[in-house]
């Protein structure tokens, strides 16, 4: 019973969302031989304006991680990175204050 979450950066039509979920679930059924009715797949859609970090900055991060791991012998094609972002107003810090109301000492909007 794998639990799978798919995250995308743009909205799809309802039919396309169902097709994405079905494609992933069908692959899980084929690869892991789970019963077809054992479906635990979620699709999370993030509006692009909610992603605070610019795509080029994210590319730089992913590339930097792969390059750094290559120096210790990890093949780049064996590395997967996942960046989970949340808006500063969604995080509490320093005594329960919203991070957007706190001087964190660095720019979080890069």
Domain-embedded: residue 106: no
pTM: 0.53
64 and 86 together in one domain? yes
Which pair of structure tokens corresponds to residue 107? 């720019």
Answer yes or no: is 65 within a domain: yes
- By residue range, what is the domain housing residue 88? 51-101
* Torsion (CA) 10, 15, 21, 25 in degrees, nearest 10: -160
Q: Residue 67: inside a domain, yes or no? A: yes
Lowest mean pLDDT among 2-6, 21-25, 70-74, 76-80: 2-6
Q: Taking the alpha carbons of 59, 62, 64, 70 in that order, is the dihedral positive or negative?
A: negative
pLDDT tens digits for 56-76? Answer: 899 999 999 999 999 999 999
Same domain? 62 vs 87: yes
| Pair 26, 60 in one domain | no
* Token pair belonging to 8: 């995308």
Q: Do 55 and 92 share a structural domain?
A: yes
């Amino acid at each position: 019973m794998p639990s799978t979450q798919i995250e995308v950066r743009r909205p799809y039509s309802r039919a396309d969302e169902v097709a994405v979920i079905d494609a992933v679930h069908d692959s899980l059924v084929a690869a892991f031989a789970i019963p077809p009715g054992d479906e635990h797949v979620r699709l999370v859609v993030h509006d692009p304006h909610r992603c605070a970090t610019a795509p080029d900055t994210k590319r730089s991060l992913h590339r930097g991680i792969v390059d750094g791991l290559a120096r210790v012998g990890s093949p780049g094609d064996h590395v997967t990175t996942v960046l989970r972002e949340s808006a500063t107003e969604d995080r509490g810090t320093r005594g329960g204050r919203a991070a957007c109301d706190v001087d964190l000492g660095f720019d979080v909007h890069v």
